[in-house]
Amino acid sequence: MTNPSSAFQSKSDAALFVDPTSLRYLTGLRFSAGAALVGKFGKALLVDGRYYFKARRVLSRGWNVLKLAPGAAELVRHIRNLGVRQVYVDTESISAARYRKLVESADGLAVAGAEGLSDRIRAVKRPEEIRAIRDAVRLTDDLWSRVRTHIRVGMTERELRAFIIEQAIRMGAEEMSFEPIVVSGPATAEPHAEAGDRPIRGDEPLMVDMGVRLNGYCSDFTRTPFLLRRRAAPPAWFVRFYREVLAIQNLAYRLIAGGERAPGAVAKKISARLQKRRLKTYYLHSLGHGVGLKIHEEPYLTEKGRTLENGMVFTVEPGLYRAGSGGVRIEDMACLLQGRLDVLTRSTKEMVWRIS
């Protein structure tokens, strides 16, 4: 965790968080509304009557819990009473209308935007967060094992998606971390296609991108096997794509495990490899992203991505996509611990499944 107050020089500076994800991260509690103020002065939680007594009971140490009436002016009044004169707000985690009302009600309080602040403080995970993410990844691996045995010719993409959601909840997930992507055949050429009423036919690729939320933390996972039914082998384009996606993923692992911490350097080497093999036109998205309380957060494995640090958790999910034919994406989750790369996802990556 990056302490948001560590960047402040003055005791009158503070960071304001109003989104439920940040409130849960900072307090460990779930709120549908409220505000947290963190600065040199300490920490204050401002919530309405629904949460006030519970918050006072649970957060008795280290937090100043205050009852908050509706309206931006009331929030500003509390902030000023705490001695804060400059407040920084993550503009990515507050609506434009709410930010405008806060500025209009400032009454001498200086309000400044701090884009991406919420993501930045969560980028480096605490040990207990990594344990929670491991549990979510483990559940996802087990879920994939159930999915494998359930797939049948004639089942629709929607039916398989419904099975995934039902099984995840039965296995203990709070919910899916996002709507599962379950597509087959040519639709696998669209990285974020939606499940439809198309039946799974065999002799074509099947892409499943799914994740669960467990104890607040997310997982993310993708596999794209070719479902053999009557064919002797997958088509040449699929074999080439699959092998290359695996090679790109392993290249990324080798680079990071070998000490490369700049996502941009990893991205450039992957780009050079794809260019050499005349495959770059089929590479449509970045290599990966951070995962935590949100399914997409820092760090982002892009050319301008933040330097990787110990405690960061992220996906490695290269993909190649050819319109009209299909695509391949393979996604694992990994983390950096004590300078070592640890791939959390354990599911196997067979290119071909036999299906009946």
pLDDT, tens digit (0-9, with 9 covering 90-100), for 76-126: 999 999 999 999 999 989 999 999 999 999 989 999 999 999 999 999 999
Evaluate the omega torsion of the peptide bond into residue 318 and state whether it is cis, within 30 degrees of 0.
no
pLDDT value of position 2: 57
C-alpha radius of gyration, the chain, whole number: 23
Q: How far is C-alpha 220 from the chain's CA centre?
A: 7
Q: How confident is the model at residue 300 (pLDDT cuts 50, 70, 90)?
A: very high
pLDDT of residue 107: 86
Q: Cβ contacts of residue 90 below 8 Å, gap of 6+? A: 15, 17, 19, 22, 113, 114, 115, 116, 117, 118, 119
Which region among 28-32, 60-64, 158-162, 304-308 has the lowest average model confidence (pLDDT)?
60-64
Range 324-344 average pLDDT: 98
CB atoms within 10 A of CB 338: 7
User: Does pLDDT of 206 surpass 90?
Assistant: yes
pLDDT digits (tens, 9 = 90+) for 115-127: 999 999 999 999 9
Measured CA to CA, the distance from residue 339 to residue 324 in angstroms comes to 42
Give the CATH number of domain 4-122. Answer: 3.40.350.10
The mean-pLDDT minimum among 48-62, 185-199, 220-234, 306-320 falls in 48-62
Say how far apart CA 65 and CA 53 lie, in whole Å: 9
Cβ-contact 282, 321 below 8 angstroms? yes
Residue 4 — very low, low, confident or very high, per pLDDT cuts 50/70/90?
Answer: low
* For residue 63, pLDDT beyond 90: yes
pLDDT tens profile 29-46: 999 999 999 998 999 999
Instruction: With residue 36 as reference, give the H or E element that holds it.
Output: strand 35-39
**Of 29-33, 213-217, 241-245, 341-345, the least confident:** 29-33
* Residues in the chain, overall count: 356
Pick the CATH number of 127-354 from 3.40.50.300, 3.40.50.2300, 3.90.230.10, 3.40.50.720: 3.90.230.10
The per-residue pLDDT for 1 is 53
Task: Quote the crossing angle between the two packed helices 263-276 and 236-257, to the nearest 10°.
Answer: 150
Give the integer Cα–Cα distance in Å for 11 and 276.
Answer: 55
Amino acid at 275: Q
Inform me whether the pLDDT recorded for 60 exceeds 90: no
Q: Specify the pLDDT at position 109.
A: 92
CA dist 322 → 148, 325, 327 (Å): 25, 6, 6
What mean pLDDT, rounded, does the chain reach? Answer: 94
Q: Look at residue 11 in the predicted model and tell me its pLDDT.
A: 73
The torsion angle over the Cα atoms of residues 121, 285, 244 and 220, rounded to 10 degrees, is 50
Judge whether 355 and 227 are in contact, CB under 8 Å.
Answer: yes
User: pLDDT tens digits, residue range 143-180?
Assistant: 999 999 999 999 999 999 999 999 999 999 999 999 99
User: How much is the pLDDT for 154?
Assistant: 95
Cβ proximity of 37 and 110 under 8 Å: no
* pLDDT value of residue 211: 99
Domains of the chain by residue range: 4-122, 127-354
What is the rounded CA–CA span in Å between residue 320 and residue 294? 25
